[in-house]
Structure 1
């Protein structure tokens, strides 16, 4: 029998007083908790913590890590130890909820804590779980994936999906932004299995988008596909866990990839396991950091802590029309959009189906990927207006609504052609230095601005058609 783990999200709010100042500051924790066993109250369960720690005006670390001991009955406590960065200093938040049968509600929702630096006490405070606004999202976030399986391990999502059937396309791609120069990088690795059963082949390309200047690219392949158990590997070009490397034409690249965060299923999660839809799209990790070099012609990018992500596509070919956006919003927040019109008969008459996933403050909105595409019984679908140089997506789910406007300037956009398994052509127009404006509003008796992001040259975007 396959064992299962537990994954859930928790937000806590409170106050802290640091030893180097008199006044208190607001504190917020947005955590993702992962355990390799199903949580049972009579057991002691140890779990891993990742997430975001914010102390108003002093700290905002979206890559905090730690551990959690969950033992409400055996030891009557739930302990948290979280390491985070405050103004370049490494601090540890250490605290526990002391579970008491006499006051079960307050003991399970109040977390006194102490802050330490190199073992020395540097602050203290109290966090509380917000029952009114946090309980339903907390309960809805619980998942019980197979322990050690691909649901929780990003590496498992890099393994090839193609099972030998003709008429399939599989893609590994990576996009990132160099923080030093503002240049964008695009690595595309693809396997095509033609419908005529003539043999699968591997090909792809690498492109660099300088901040000020036209994009440069080179293609590699096609070569016969020989499946590698860890990812894409063909003619000296690799896209495997933690490593991207290769050489083609005047380009050579060697990058290390450090994933961060949970996998993101842009399409419904089940569509990756069961390929019933025309295609499925997902990110093995929400956000990645890259180090290494990309050389092209006489130029070279030396990447250090560049931010981006890798993604996976598996399906029957390209859509009739599509738009894509990956936007790193800072602080660990991510927006991923795919809007497409299918080639399948019947579906090709529908307006673009929108799949939008906003990861913000450790939570994903909307909660289900299907919500933006189909709404409720067809009502409330998100809308996409696909065109160039500007395209947009808008919609509402629950008490929030969003509008996204993407601009791909012609001088920063690269056109490349695709060939589907049936031989039909498609063209994508990609920019790894696109602009985007994202407006998020929430209903509080009237629509009020909740957040706005303006990305200038750091959005990764694409529009494709036939």
Structure 2
């Protein structure tokens, strides 16, 4: 909603913008009153900009003939409350539904201003109607069960990346099932890697071992990746780990949600939980690292093999914000001539942008695609969706990067260069009254998780 605010101490009006996400635990009740939660961003030009505004919206269109808003935000270090309601009337149905008069109170309850917000029907009605959702409740553990059903030429991956906040050490656990394209027996294998803040990168492989069907996750070659639990060892115990995983967010679909349910793309990726924390131990060469509430995430991949060229980023931005990027060029004829397709998902304040997973990859039937410049040691992704645009720059210093070979189900090889101590700079901008303005900016030094793959 857009409008103005007139503070009691000023003789001029200030421009205001309020963006809210409203959620309810039950369906709306037209003949009753429905209480909802509201989170979002409130901006008062030259006075306040709080991306963590929160409050409640009371929806009572017939019982009380009003929709009441109470939104609390911070301005100048003090908490303020916007309190207003739309008085619904049949004589002016459109105006009464779209105009919100309000009063502004300080943290002591004293009135400090008044204003009016309006919902712009011409530009926001269709996006508003399209935003209605019936939330799908899916537990993170539901995504860990194996997808493979006996087809040849398939790869399935469970991987976890973690940063120890005390030492800055990065960890990478990779579990993989490969079903060769020639119909031979499937096998399980993987590796573990540790990226110390001071010292060389160390890794070790486990497997290959026969794959035995089981329903909870990966359990083969002495390594386990199941809901809430990661254990295993590699290189005769030179690397050992025993970690408890606690999801801290809901699932995040880097690729379109439908591509995970219906595997028609060359591959698809999903995070069972966009963020997680880890407790436990990781031992390498006699040194034991003890983790306590270490941030990270696990992810799943299912497909036909590795891309022709790819880049990947997982960045915990702090404040419950997380950024996931996959940019890839397919090996399939025709698709391999295209520039990298970018799948970018930014979750902050409980919302995921862009709203649809395929938005960055296909744009509007071609134009408007996000762009990726894949190189080393630095690669970038840029793009725009709606009123926001983003620029991401990732640097993988050679001394913090591990080079490994991947083998596809068809026997071909790819090379990945992975760093669990990469650097990243993320700039998010929003179009605001005729120009681009910084909405958020993050700089990660040694805490980003990134990879570049080539053939």
Q: TM-score range by the shorter chain?
A: 0.7 to 0.9
* Equivalent of 1:377 in 359, 365, 387: 365
Aligned pair 1:196/2:185, yes or no? no
1:99, distance to aligned residue in structure 2 (A): 9.1
Secondary structure of the equivalent of 2:360? helix
Larger Rg: 2
* Equivalent of 1:432 in 410, 420, 423: 420
Equivalence for 2:279:
291
* Equivalent of 2:438 in 449, 454, 464: 449
1:207, distance to aligned residue in structure 2 (A): 1.1
Greater Cα offset, 235-244 or 430-439: 235-244
In structure 2, what is the Cα distance between the partners aligned to 1:437 and 1:389?
14
In structure 1, what is the Cα distance between the partners aligned to 2:337 and 2:310?
14
Equivalence for 2:150:
164
Greater Cα offset, 440-449 or 163-172: 440-449
In structure 2, what is the Cα distance between the partners aligned to 1:239 and 1:50?
36
1:74, distance to aligned residue in structure 2 (A): 7.3
1:460, distance to aligned residue in structure 2 (A): 0.5
Equivalence for 2:291:
303
**Structure 1 residues 99 and 79 mapped into 2: Cα distance closer, same or farther (>3 Å)?**
closer
Aligned pair 1:337/2:330, yes or no? no
Task: In structure 2, list runs of 5 or more residues that go unmatched.
Answer: 6-15, 43-49, 72-81
Equivalence for 1:325:
313
| Contact preservation (8 Å) 1:50, 1:261 | no
| Contact preservation (8 Å) 1:404, 1:437 | yes
Equivalence for 1:207:
193
When the two structures are aligned, how many residues end up with a matched partner?
Answer: 428
Equivalence for 1:4:
none
1:144, distance to aligned residue in structure 2 (A): 2.5
1:335, distance to aligned residue in structure 2 (A): 1.2
**Structure 1 residues 308 and 53 mapped into 2: Cα distance closer, same or farther (>3 Å)?**
farther
Equivalence for 2:12:
none
1:446, distance to aligned residue in structure 2 (A): 2.6
Equivalence for 1:243:
229
Given the two structures, how large is their TM-score scaled by the length of structure 1?
0.77
Secondary structure of the equivalent of 2:366? coil
1:185, distance to aligned residue in structure 2 (A): 1.0
1:341, distance to aligned residue in structure 2 (A): 0.6
1:325-369 CA-to-partner distances (Å, cap 9, x unmatched) read 011111111111111110101101111111111223332222222
Secondary structure of the equivalent of 2:146? coil
Equivalence for 2:336:
348
**Structure 1 residues 297 and 129 mapped into 2: Cα distance closer, same or farther (>3 Å)?**
farther
In structure 2, what is the Cα distance between the partners aligned to 1:112 and 1:163?
60
Equivalence for 1:395:
383
In structure 2, what is the Cα distance between the partners aligned to 1:30 and 1:176?
32
1:306, distance to aligned residue in structure 2 (A): 1.1
Task: In structure 1, list runs of 5 or more residues that go unmatched.
Answer: 1-9, 15-25, 55-59, 83-94, 115-120
Q: How does 1:149-188 map to 2 (within 5 A)?
A: 150=138, 153-188=139-174
Greater Cα offset, 229-238 or 193-202: 229-238
| Contact preservation (8 Å) 1:77, 1:97 | no
| Contact preservation (8 Å) 1:205, 1:218 | yes
1:382-408 CA-to-partner distances (Å, cap 9, x unmatched) read 111111111111122222222111100
What's the RMSD between the two structures over aligned residues?
Answer: 4.3
In structure 2, what is the Cα distance between the partners aligned to 1:405 and 1:323?
12
1:315, distance to aligned residue in structure 2 (A): 0.5
**Structure 1 residues 123 and 306 mapped into 2: Cα distance closer, same or farther (>3 Å)?**
farther
* Equivalent of 1:362 in 339, 347, 350: 350
Q: How does 1:94-173 map to 2 (within 5 A)?
A: 131=119, 139-144=129-134, 148=137, 150=138, 153-173=139-159
Secondary structure of the equivalent of 2:244? strand
| Contact preservation (8 Å) 2:274, 2:297 | yes
Secondary structure of the equivalent of 1:181? coil
| Contact preservation (8 Å) 1:338, 1:356 | yes
1:210-252 CA-to-partner distances (Å, cap 9, x unmatched) read 1122211111111111222222122442211222122223122
Aligned pair 1:277/2:265, yes or no? yes
1:304, distance to aligned residue in structure 2 (A): 1.2
Given the two structures, how large is their TM-score scaled by the length of structure 2?
0.78
| Contact preservation (8 Å) 2:31, 2:63 | yes
1:71, distance to aligned residue in structure 2 (A): 7.4
In structure 1, what is the Cα distance between the partners aligned to 2:213 and 2:54?
35
